[in-house]
Structure 1
């Protein structure tokens, strides 16, 4: 079947919350040119990420180069392989790096997309298009933050803050697959879930501030790394970390950004900036602070694919929405109560046509 010239797509047209920033188009052009080392994918499902709505809210139009197609994570089928290692008909999953999205204005909330082959992997046969749509961004965030940024090795212990977040759930599974001991924080209601994913120890962050609990109950041996999957704006977990993070260990955070617009959150942000830049010889925290940044890496996305194919990592889906209900999907994500990925169906095969949550 020939590729159409127009498609349905959700377009980010202005700065603001998704309800204000997004507009649905039924006649958005399908890319007619495919650069070298890129593939054309017919998208089956897209998964939402916090970075998507955060960029809508904070990046002005001249920096974000709007209008552009929304979102980053997807699963789909290759329709034009363009001389890459893929073949027409290959089921795949992948992502749009923020820099690629800004340059090409391509995104996941559309029926077709041109994607760099370096950011795409074949979908394992043991996972469907819905769950595969949420693999790439959070899976690579977990993988790279632990093994590139924190340089963890088998037998070491990692503390994952925000274990029930999408990144946290992947980090638990990937860490266990690599022989790490895993200590996790989450609310008490999610203890069963994070233990099911493989957590060895659990801390309920709602009972006592984490830095206070860990200082009074220091692990032995100390953690070899702390992965902040929640993205704390308050730097206390880092500034008190010498009590529970081993010398040479790294504190890696995903997005240390304000979670709402308030004086408290803005104050925490300034405290975090000061903590991460203040030198140790002036009394700064003697532990490495890193802000994670997603990297396009073919070896890493293939390693993630292999873990999924081996059954060592599974996708966790919170809820599923039709393409027309994308704004409702964002409302769910904005509650910060989603456990797993919020997924939008675009053209899912009947055999994976799961029940849609439009609540």
Structure 2
């Protein structure tokens, strides 16, 4: 293994010590620094973004059980504590395993958050970095080399850390639905990290974008490419012509859900990757089969998604939206700001400083 100095085997970071409120986030300076396995790389983390998965995992929101949180991770498995969260990671490769080229040392990379390999083994089902294994809320993280993507950009680490989770999720939604140039797409939760990413990526495909948001955030979404704004309190039928939309990208769910299907046209495509407005919805099966609709639940990234995202970044097709930046030690405050949903774009933590 080629590596950095081993004079100090500890690192600064944040442990998630259990399920609960911000009190379970423990800032430490004595966390053991990970060592890469033969097919891994060690990444010095420059910045790490906050996303819904971090908060949902902490709160055991993914659990469908009786509160025991035995299925509280992305994969439906228990979380092993302490855990280092953080899936939005930008950093630099500083060490490599025996089976990884030394030429990769020094690469500036983004980490693909959806993992197919861990500790040299191919996974039967995808893991999420920062949930099933340790992530980026610490000075260093290790990950399979195949999940690190070199990025050539003048953007800062903080700006680049706003991309991995939100933008790859958005690109995956658009890839799965095969959104095409000239099609009309409606995006719920458009001011959030995934929503604002979807607006930009849909425009990059040449689509007509209808963004659902609040009045306070409407101008910001128009600035990044939305063609039309629908306010959250409006009935979709009052402002969007029925059967006029080819694709719905839903990040909210909740009571308004049946209206999303009403605006879809024949062979319309609906994709979902969030349920912050409510996870239980009512489906009229007649709408589903009479319109020949297709539904897509989107979690695991298609193989082409992350390389396509890096290409969009390097070509300047999309821009980072960083709402606020905090020091890693202020993670509890940062997550509180994130949960208030008063921002457009991402909340990012600075981890290592040059």
Structure 1 unmatched ranges of 5 or more: 260-267, 350-359
1:264 corresponding residue in structure 2: none
Cα contact 2:268–2:291 (8 A) shared by 1: no
Q: Distance in 1 between matches of 2:215 and 2:91?
A: 36
1:45 corresponding residue in structure 2: 47
SS in 1 for 2:138: coil
1:56 aligns with 2:62: no
Deviations 1:264-318 (A, max 9, x none): xxxx543x1x52xx74499898633333213273x32121111111111011001
Q: Distance in 1 between matches of 2:261 and 2:33?
A: 53
1:24 corresponding residue in structure 2: 27
Shift, 1:132, TM fit:
0.5
2:341 corresponding residue in structure 1: 336
1:77 corresponding residue in structure 2: 92
Which of 238, 257, 260 in structure 2 is aligned with 1:213?
A: 238
Cα contact 1:318–1:340 (8 A) shared by 2: yes
Shift, 1:339, TM fit:
1.4
Deviations 1:79-122 (A, max 9, x none): 12334476111111124337254786311101110112333222
SS in 2 for 1:313: coil
Alpha carbons of structure 1 residues 241 and 130: separation in structure 2 relative to 1, 3 Å: closer
1:7 corresponding residue in structure 2: 11
Report the more deviating stretch, 338-347 or 247-256: 247-256
How many aligned residue pairs are there?
324
Cα contact 2:49–2:161 (8 A) shared by 1: yes
Cα contact 1:138–1:167 (8 A) shared by 2: yes
Cα contact 1:241–1:287 (8 A) shared by 2: no
Q: Distance in 1 between matches of 2:219 and 2:88?
A: 27
2:198 corresponding residue in structure 1: 171
1:247 aligns with 2:266: yes
Shift, 1:180, TM fit:
1.3
Alpha carbons of structure 1 residues 198 and 281: separation in structure 2 relative to 1, 3 Å: closer
1:312 aligns with 2:317: yes
SS in 2 for 1:334: helix
Alpha carbons of structure 1 residues 21 and 286: separation in structure 2 relative to 1, 3 Å: farther
2:254 corresponding residue in structure 1: 233
Shift, 1:125, TM fit:
1.9
Q: Distance in 1 between matches of 2:82 and 2:199?
A: 37
Alpha carbons of structure 1 residues 25 and 143: separation in structure 2 relative to 1, 3 Å: same
Greater percentage in helix? 1
1:65 corresponding residue in structure 2: 80
2:174 corresponding residue in structure 1: 146
SS in 2 for 1:306: helix
SS in 2 for 1:7: strand
Cα contact 2:265–2:291 (8 A) shared by 1: no
1:222 corresponding residue in structure 2: 244
Structure 2 unmatched ranges of 5 or more: 71-77, 115-125
Q: Over aligned residue pairs, what C-alpha RMSD do you find?
A: 2.5
Report the more deviating stretch, 23-32 or 90-99: 90-99
Deviations 1:169-193 (A, max 9, x none): 1111111111111111111121211
Deviations 1:178-234 (A, max 9, x none): 11111111111212111111111122223x23x3424xx406x711100013x2222
Q: Distance in 1 between matches of 2:13 and 2:342?
A: 26
1:99 aligns with 2:127: yes
